[in-house]
Structure 1
Amino acid sequence: MSVLFAAGLFLSPLACRSDSPADGETSTETGTETGTGDGDTDPGTETGDGDGDPGDGDGDPPPTNYEVGFDVTDLTPTEAELAEGFYLGGYGFYTERGAAEGIHDQVYVRTMAIGYGPADGGIFAVADAIGMGNQWTRAIRAEAAAMTGLSEEQIIIGSTHSHGAPDLQGLWGGVPEGYRARIITAIATSMATAWNDRVPADLEVASTTADNRNRRGWDFTDDGLFVVQARNVDGGALLGAMVAFAAHPVVLGSSNLQMSRDYCGYAVDNLEAQLEAPVLFFNGVQGDVSPQVPDGMYADDFERAQAYGDHVAARTMLALDAVEPVGVDMFRNYADFELDVTNETFLLAAQAGLLDYDFVIRDGVGLVATQTAYFRFGDEIQLVAFPGESLTRNGLPIKEAMTAPHQVVLGLSGDALGYFVPSDEWNTGLNDNYEESISVGMDAADVTRDLLIELMSQDPG
């Protein structure tokens, strides 16, 4: 059996449907209360020595403001890189869709660094990509940590999940090795630039809703839209913003071979034009969520994508009319853990060298190592990084466990391990069990959800 033929057999279910616009155990946990320091002379997880000396981060007075920086870096492939055989992600089985034929709009990584004191805080970056295999995310986090001196626990890399963006998972044909090496360093450098460019800043936050719909037949979904923006303490100039909202970027269908950010790009471009500052867009609890394009007459799918992006941007701007300040206090928590991989398609494709993922077999059981992170900013924001595409009924309980008024799940962040289907919804026939076919296994959603809720419960705030 040839590799390509095997790829077709292995990967035929591993694609989002083009019904446009629809389309383990914990190994380590660390918590860091950075508001006051512990002052007890033990090493703990703090960065200082517990003696209360200024500047060591342990027992010091808490910061009086955040320090925030932004960066935007172009990741668009060159014509030479496109010519090597460059695939977009999201539709069809391996290489079936065909290689990208051109660039409709450029792709980027956008980064927001939020510092709390000289060495604490977090870096949040999101790339215009269908997702990232764990080979990518490990390399990016390690390189960014080396550049900044931060721990990898403080570094979050996500994907917008645009189905017109590069396939950084290897599921649909992948990208050339030269492009891969180039943008891993570019993304890490973007993170380091944002961290190094931090200035004293105030955070402001707001939440609202926007239109979307559930593709598994539920009459509810997570329609929450979150936005946090940063203003320079010196003069109040807007530095940038981060938006999180759930909807699959599938307005552009499977016939599109032009690289594009789909509606996410139009939303970002609209907001950046109005705010005159960088804007990050993260997808949220979007595993079973599709766009709801406003009614209208559109010349093509790009116009439809723009209409939906403009809707998301308009809702964001409306929310920004009612921002509230974020208190200067931070707590973060983190866990490395493993998930059982019972999806034989994933295991076979990885063994064939077709995927940008590392799975292991231990005692006859397939496993994948992953991680998740939790951040609280003030009393106003609770945020988690979710390593894949959580379905609505798995993601909403995470938000319901939060007590802050502004609740955020950053989907496809840290990893992109397929769909996370709650066990009581597994193989119940919804959407023809499509999402189950692209999940690592039945236990993944419950394990990840429960772990995140446990991480949040350790927050003393």
Structure 2
Amino acid sequence: MPRIAPPSFSILFAAGLLLSPLACRGDTPADGETSTETGDGDGDPGTTELGDGDGDPGDGDGDGDPPPAAYEVGFDVTDLTPTDAELAEGFYLGGYGLYTERGAAEGIHDRVYVRTMAIGYGPEDGGIFAVVDTVGMGNQWTRAIRAEAASMTGLSETQIIVGSTHSHAAPDLQGLWGGVPEGYRARIITDIATSMATAWSERVPADLEVASTTADNRNRRGWDFTDDGLFVLQARNLEGGALLGAMVAFAAHPVVLGSDNLLMSRDFCGYAVDNLEAQLEAPVLFFNGVQGDVSPKVPEGMYADDFERAQAYGDHVAARTMLALEAVEPVGVDMFRGYADFDLSVTNQTFLFAAQAGILDYDFTSRGDTTLVTTQTAYFRFGSEIQLVAFPGESLTRNGLPIKEAMTAPHQVVLGLSGDALGYFVPSDEWNTGLNDNYEESISVGMDAADTTRDVMLDLIGQDPG
């Protein structure tokens, strides 16, 4: 299938003017579109790969060996902060305004990272979960990262998940707001893949423990409910019980820092992680959840600036996490995983024009008069306690909650902006109903994206015999 044609300079300039729907309004973030991984191209839900946990007595690799007695877990934290020279090349933060309208980043308030957790189930099975401090990543980025990490580890790309925290004060790895220099791009693609390989290679036998609670957030489309669930998974070294690290997932847009901020920051996510790492003395990953229409609910108080407000909210999330950790339960040693790639129709004219202009770090394909993006999802069950799915963008509450409700485990997780960052996923029965002035619809690939993606995930969950 042919790719969209490259731009002329005049088209590039015009696209910058037409990207106005991508501007954030108040606490409303602007996001990108598009995807990764190749599908089967037939428009069907795509291919599915199943892992272990299917009820067979073996460990899933076909050699008849018994299942493992324990998980093997490793962590890595790698600094991705740009150098002064890279900043000077023209470096943009993502999330607010027209293309380059916000202006280039002026400095660094706090550093940005990739944090990785590798969970092995036997010598070859398992998954790698990495999250990058960025507003989102285009599919050109995620394809390159997953391919390089697979090459380094010998794992399948279907076992590798890379997500974004979605901070609107972090680097623009989508190209929507000005992007980052090519040298920085090449450097951190390798750094992210290396972080994944390091976590995988440094695995040690470990126990997993899980807990869930809630934290404060709010729905910006007027619903009186949202997904306020907070999930935490931690790993302890089987030998001695030392804490190896933890993963947290919670839904809220990292938009406490506004569009006037030009200093790089991880927003509230960074403060939450720093707080938890100081208390736990171990690495902590923070994934956003079903956050498409979810905003922070900063505690009441007097704050000197938005950084103090971001810290207050991050501290709230950290406090709720620590409270949850007082009641962890062990995770049984059993795993099942599934994978599907599938196509979404791209009908958003702004996205199509921006793609033609070459602004985006995304690839679309065309089939006749239809423009498509191929994306993917991965599903994991750990023991009977955890069900987890990677969502390739920003799911609205009413699209994400049915996915969690289909899970029977006591701890359900949707990792938002993981695998891809394809903008908002709005349920078709909520499409253009006037909620939030239809802002999320303007930053969606199309009306069918949410329903299609939800149904693919429900099918994967249904294939799990556990």
TM-score by length of 2: 0.94
Task: Give the secondary-structure state (helix, strand or coil) at the position aligned to 1:13.
Answer: helix
For 2:18, the equivalent position in structure 1 comes to 10
For 1:19, the equivalent position in structure 2 comes to 27
How many Å apart are 1:207 and its aligned residue? 0.2
In the alignment, structure 1 residue 47 sits paired with structure 2 residue 61? yes
Q: Distance in 1 between matches of 2:124 and 2:76?
A: 19
1:394 pairs with one of 396, 399, 404: 399
For 1:266, the equivalent position in structure 2 comes to 271
Q: Which amino acid aligns with 1:383?
A: L
Q: Distance in 2 between matches of 1:433 and 1:305?
A: 27
**Superimposed CA distance per residue, residues 398-441 of structure 1 (whole angstroms, 9 cap, x where no aligned partner):** 00000000000000000000000000000000000000000000
Moved over 6 A (4+): 20-23
Q: Which amino acid aligns with 1:18?
A: G
For 2:78, the equivalent position in structure 1 comes to 73
Rate the CA distance shift 1:218–1:355 in 2: closer, same or farther, 3 A.
Answer: same
In the alignment, structure 1 residue 296 sits paired with structure 2 residue 315? no
Q: Which amino acid aligns with 1:212?
A: N
Task: Give the secondary-structure state (helix, strand or coil) at the position aligned to 1:447.
Answer: helix
2:236 pairs with one of 231, 238, 241: 231
Task: Give the secondary-structure state (helix, strand or coil) at the position aligned to 2:387.
Answer: strand
Rate the CA distance shift 1:442–1:271 in 2: closer, same or farther, 3 A.
Answer: same
For 1:28, the equivalent position in structure 2 comes to 47
- Contact 1:162/1:250, CA 8 A, preserved across alignment: yes
Q: Which amino acid aligns with 1:74?
A: D
Q: Distance in 1 between matches of 2:30 and 2:327?
A: 31
TM-score by length of 1: 0.95
Task: Give the secondary-structure state (helix, strand or coil) at the position aligned to 2:22.
Answer: coil
Task: Give the secondary-structure state (helix, strand or coil) at the position aligned to 1:349.
Answer: helix
1:448 pairs with one of 443, 449, 453: 453
How many Å apart are 1:290 and its aligned residue? 0.2
Q: Which amino acid aligns with 1:64?
A: A
1:157 pairs with one of 162, 167, 176: 162
Aligned-residue RMSD, C-alpha: 1.6
Task: Give the secondary-structure state (helix, strand or coil) at the position aligned to 1:371.
Answer: strand
The total of aligned residue pairs comes to 447
For 2:34, the equivalent position in structure 1 comes to none
- Unpaired stretches in structure 1, ≥5 consecutive residues: 40-44, 49-57
Q: Which amino acid aligns with 2:65?
A: D
- Contact 1:21/1:290, CA 8 A, preserved across alignment: no
Q: Which amino acid aligns with 1:420?
A: F
**Superimposed CA distance per residue, residues 319-370 of structure 1 (whole angstroms, 9 cap, x where no aligned partner):** 0000000000000000011000001111111111100000011111010011
Identity percentage of aligned residues: 85
Task: Give the secondary-structure state (helix, strand or coil) at the position aligned to 1:30.
Answer: coil
Task: Give the secondary-structure state (helix, strand or coil) at the position aligned to 1:167.
Answer: coil
2:321 pairs with one of 301, 316, 323: 316
Deviates more, 1:22-31 or 1:80-89: 22-31
- Contact 2:57/2:66, CA 8 A, preserved across alignment: no
Q: Distance in 2 between matches of 1:391 and 1:19?
A: 15
- Contact 1:11/1:94, CA 8 A, preserved across alignment: yes
Q: Distance in 2 between matches of 1:361 and 1:104?
A: 42
For 2:94, the equivalent position in structure 1 comes to 89
In the alignment, structure 1 residue 145 sits paired with structure 2 residue 158? no
How many Å apart are 1:38 and its aligned residue? 6.5
Matches within 5 A, 1:13-412: 13-19=21-27, 25-34=44-53, 37=56, 46-48=60-62, 58-412=63-417
**Superimposed CA distance per residue, residues 141-171 of structure 1 (whole angstroms, 9 cap, x where no aligned partner):** 0000000000000000000000000000001
